[in-house]
Amino acid sequence: MTEAVFRETAAEPRTQAVPLSHLSLELGHLYMEDFEAGPEHLRRHFERVRPWAEAARAGAGGGGRRARISTCFLIDDYFTRFASPAEVVPMLLEEAGRAGLTVDYLARESGCAVAGKTPVAEAVAGRIVEEPPPGSYGLRPPVTQTGWLANGERSPVARAPQAMKKATAWQPPKETAARRHSVFLDVELWDDGPDGHRTWSCPFLAAVWQLARLGLLRDDGEAVLVPQPHTGDSFPDDWDELPPLLRLNPRADPFAAYRTCSVIPSRFLPVEHAVRVILDQVEVDPGALAQTAERSAREDTAVPDSVADRVSYVFYAGQ
């Protein structure tokens, strides 16, 4: 005799699905110094970006199908508040259009810290699972205490030798997945001010940004950083009045995608190296991962198992 099993519907875990493009193409970041340099600076940026963006588009196709590709641009309103959306956004869009580029989605970096009432960065920090270096014995304080995350084993802390014993010899740090020689990196994820206010680091917010673009951010199963449509012909005077993620092009393909590509100046290379270290140690929502795997298989689209391997870059010299 088979016994029936009853469950409360509300008790069933639910992961909200998000639409996915094949590629999320980032056309750049904008920081205060970029805005202060004037429209000519942005013009040169987009002129450098255009050929690489075209190459990324060409490489995203396959099988005779039209590749779904969306573009995005990130503005730093987290570390510095400069000018206003009413001043910055029209200039940004004008210079992109002058170079033959369309910005489908505009994001505020502060939205990678907190989006509405959702503490996005804090939630991602809670999913960090440090990789213990081979042979380690838990002497290093956890990332939750230090705010630092490494891709291997740090050099041991020098200690005063006990009587009749020699001091411990210096040892180099070791990358966990080193190929013969190590490229060791120790990343600061946040710092806490004297007033207790936590400031998230640029690499950590950039890692959150990549997870958003890959459609892998969830809060209790609900999608985070959902694009809001832009209505009207103008933009507000205050950054807080602008949605964290704005859809500028009503005909754009979905914001999130199976893969991401960012065309950015080479000065961002150290930050993006840190992003990979972070992504390699974040336990991503399993429901979101399963949805991406199921849908990519249905579309016969290859997606790497490693989240970090779904992220790619073009670094150009200059600026």
Bridge partners (DSSP) listed for residue 316? 265
25, containing H or E segment: strand 21-30
Radius of gyration of the chain (CA): 22
pLDDT, tens digit (0-9, with 9 covering 90-100), for 195-217: 889 999 999 999 999 999 999 99
**Residue 2 pLDDT:** 47
The residues spanned by each domain of the chain are 15-126+199-316
| pLDDT score at 162 | 62
How far from chain centre, in Å, is Cα 262?
11
The whole-number pLDDT of residue 34 equals: 84
Q: Six-digit token pair at 286?
A: 């399993």
- 147-158 pLDDT tens trace: 999 998 888 766
Burial class of residue 77 in the structure, from the number of CB atoms within 10 Å of its CB (0-12 exposed, 13-18 middle, 19+ buried): buried
Which parts of the chain have pLDDT scores under 50? 1-2, 7, 9
Cα–Cα distance for residue pair 77/59, rounded to 1 Å: 32
Give pTM, 2 decimals: 0.90
Task: Please give the pLDDT value at position 204.
Answer: 98
